[in-house]
Structure 1
Amino acid sequence: MSGIRVLVVDDDFRVAGLHREAVAARAGFVALEPARTVGEARAAIAAHAPDLVLADVYLPDGDGIDLVRSIDADAFVLSAATDAATVRRAFSAGALAYLVKPFDTRVLAERLERYARYRNLLSSVRPLSQDDIDRAAALMRGEREGASLARSATEQTVLAALAGEEASASEVAERIGVSRATAQRHLTALAERGLVQVSLRYGSTGRPEHRFRAGG
């Protein structure tokens, strides 16, 4: 069975059906038969090893958040509960998202799309950089890449390397111990966000050199 396997856990068969249909309509996802109780959910998880569980909080035989905490799978909590304690408990249990019912199925579709991108980013066989991890977290928060006001550790290091003076990407790379390509990528991203100014230095021969200075 290919695709991202998703298990809906909800004791309301109408709601469970709507959520299952929303999953099935997304390319790259496989909607498993919904479970109505914690017991059914555990049996389904053991049998089908879903990648993502969409769990209600209040179930006939137990608590959906406790279920989320105990399983080895990603999870969203989908609930009508809006008290802060329940929301905190869901995130503390490891839920990647909390959706307040009732909601338009387009909201779930958008969260599933984010999850697919998040999962793809974290499926790399190579070691992840801090930027990779930050991008994955931003995806689940719905932030565009580069939209967060928080700067990555590497970007902070790049800005510190400029230290109020102009420098080329090669000079920044040498100062902080990264490749020129990595320095160039971060400098370009910072310039696009207005945190770094770019100017050109013309030499006697060859292409002009890009020079970077911190400050908008």
Structure 2
Amino acid sequence: MTDDIRVLIVDDDFRVSGIHRDLVASRPGFEPLPPVRDAASARTAIREMQPDLLLLDVYLPDGDGIEVGREAGIDRFVLSAADDVATIRRAIASGALHYLVKPFAARDLRDRLDRYARFRNLLAAGSATQATIDRAVGLLHGGAAPPPARAGTQQLILDALAEGEASSVELAERIGVSRATAQRHLAELAARGAVEVALRYGTAGRPEHRYRVG
């Protein structure tokens, strides 16, 4: 994916929304949109700015953030001081990908944003194998799922290359494995003729190996 992930923050406390905006801006591949402070403004911003991800407080001056997210049908995290189980369950049932109880450490939101970006990368193509789905869900929620089997990893690589040619570093990031693992499987796929390798020469340094579906 080449476009930045556009994030709309909905929080009635301008200091909190400013902190969250700066956190989003610090992550590569993310673009914070101007934060809004109430449900009406959120609905307008969603319609006009078309964000990819919402960071929603629950209690807004004129409505309920969980309901705003449910109506929008956009990927969303709920960030709220509400820690009662009923609210948490309602947020998750509405489709929230994460629920963070305020106050939380900055690293908690950074970690979830980074995992969300990798989740989107894995599910960027028009269809996905079961191995891709399992890997994406594991990345999103930080579970300790075992790494995919050899055949599963190679299928993930082929799925990622369906988006276009890439380097081993780019592929490793897309599918959530180390560069060494990606290179090992790429070598096997190239030996079988499943992928093709080309060299790209830059202005300086060693040429870069680029891979595409054979």
Matching residue of 1:33? 34
Q: Bigger radius of gyration, 1 or 2?
A: 1
Map 1:1-216; keep pairs closer than 5 Å. 2-125=3-126, 127-146=127-146, 182=151
Judged with a 3 Å threshold, the aligned counterparts in structure 2 of structure 1 residues 139 and 183 are, in CA distance, closer, same or farther, namely closer
CA distance in 1, matches of 2:47, 2:20: 21
SS at match of 1:42: helix
Q: Output one character per residue of 1:18-48: Cα deviation in whole Å (capped at 9) or x when no partner.
A: 0000001111100000010011111111111
- CA separation in 1, counterparts of 2:153 and 2:100? 39
| Map of 1:191 onto structure 2 | none
Shift of 1:137: 1.1
Tell me the TM-score normalized by structure 2: 0.67
Q: How far is the alpha carbon of 1:111 from its aligned partner?
A: 0.5
- Structure 1 129/48 Cα, relative in aligned 2: closer, same or farther at 3 Å? same
Deviations 1:165-215 (A, max 9, x none): xxxxxxxxxxxxxxxx738979xxxxxxxxxxxxxxxxxxxxxxxxxxxxx
Matched-pair identity in %: 53
SS, match of residue 81 in structure 1: coil
- Shift of residue 141 of structure 1? 1.2
Corresponding residue SS for 2:51:
coil
What code does the residue aligned with 1:90 have?
A
Kindly indicate whether the alpha-carbon contact (under 8 Å) linking 1:2 and 1:30 is maintained by their aligned counterparts in 2.
no
User: What runs of 5+ residues in structure 2 fail to find an aligned partner?
Assistant: 156-214
Distance 2:123 2:152 in 1: 23
Call closer, same or farther: CA 1:133–1:102 in 2, change over 3 Å.
same
Q: Is there any run of 5+ residues in structure 1 with no aligned partner, and where?
A: 156-180, 187-216
The two structures, once aligned, show a CA RMSD in angstroms of 2.3
Does the 8 Å CA contact 1:55/1:76 hold for their aligned counterparts? yes
After TM superposition, the score normalised by the length of structure 1 is: 0.67
For the 8 Å contact 2:131–2:152, the answer to whether it is kept is no
Partner SS state of residue 55, structure 2: strand
Deviation at 1:139, TM superposition (A): 1.2
Deviations 1:78-106 (A, max 9, x none): 00111111110001100000001011111
